[in-house]
Amino acid sequence: MIPVKICELLNGLFPTGTPIVLHSLSVVLRPVLSLRKVIKDRIIQTEFTHKVLPMLSFHLPRLTLMFNMAFLGLFAATFGMGAPAMAQTKPLKIVALGDSLTAGYQLANGEAYPDVLQKALVARGLQVTIANAGVSGDTTTGGLARLDFSVPDGTDAVLLELGANDMMRGVDPEIPRANLTKMILRLKERHIPVMLFGIPAWSNAGPDYAKQFNAIYPDLSLVYQVPLYPFFLEGLIGNREMMLADGIHPSATGVREMVRLTLPHVEAFLRKLPAKP
- How many CA atoms, within 13 angstroms, populate the side-chain half-sphere of residue 116? 24
Domains of the chain (ranges; CATH) run 4-79 (no CATH), 92-271 (3.40.50.1110)
pLDDT band (50, 70, 90) for residue 180: very high
Q: What is the pLDDT of residue 274?
A: 84
Query: Mean pLDDT across the chain, nearest whole number?
Result: 81
pLDDT tens per residue, range 67-104: 444 444 444 444 444 334 445 578 999 999 999 999 99
Alpha-carbon distance of 249 to 254, in angstroms, equals 9
Catalytic residue of the set 191, 203, 208, 246: 246
Mean pLDDT of 263-268: 98
Helices (H), 106-206: 113-123, 140-145, 147-150, 164-168, 174-189
Pick the closest to residue 244 from 108, 139, 69 (CA basis). Answer: 108
* From 53-62, 166-175, 226-235, 248-257, the region with the lowest mean pLDDT: 53-62
Q: What is the pLDDT of residue 52?
A: 44
Q: How far is CA 241 from CA 159, 248, 252, 274, in A?
A: 26, 12, 9, 39
Q: Does 166 qualify as catalytic in the annotation?
A: no
* Max Cα distance, the chain (Å): 133
Catalytic residue of the set 99, 138, 166, 249: 249
Long-range interactions of 214-223: CB distance < 8 A, separation 24+: 215/173, 216/163, 216/173, 216/176, 216/177, 216/180, 217/163, 219/177, 220/177, 220/180, 220/181, 220/184, 220/196, 221/196
Mean pLDDT of 134-157: 98
Query: Checking DSSP bridges between strand 157-161 and strand 228-229, what pairing results, if any?
Result: unpaired
Q: What is the pLDDT of residue 126?
A: 96
Catalytic residue of the set 100, 150, 221, 251: 100
The reply to whether the predicted model has a pTM over 0.75 is no
Q: Does 100 qualify as catalytic in the annotation?
A: yes
What percent of the chain is predicted at pLDDT more than 90? 65
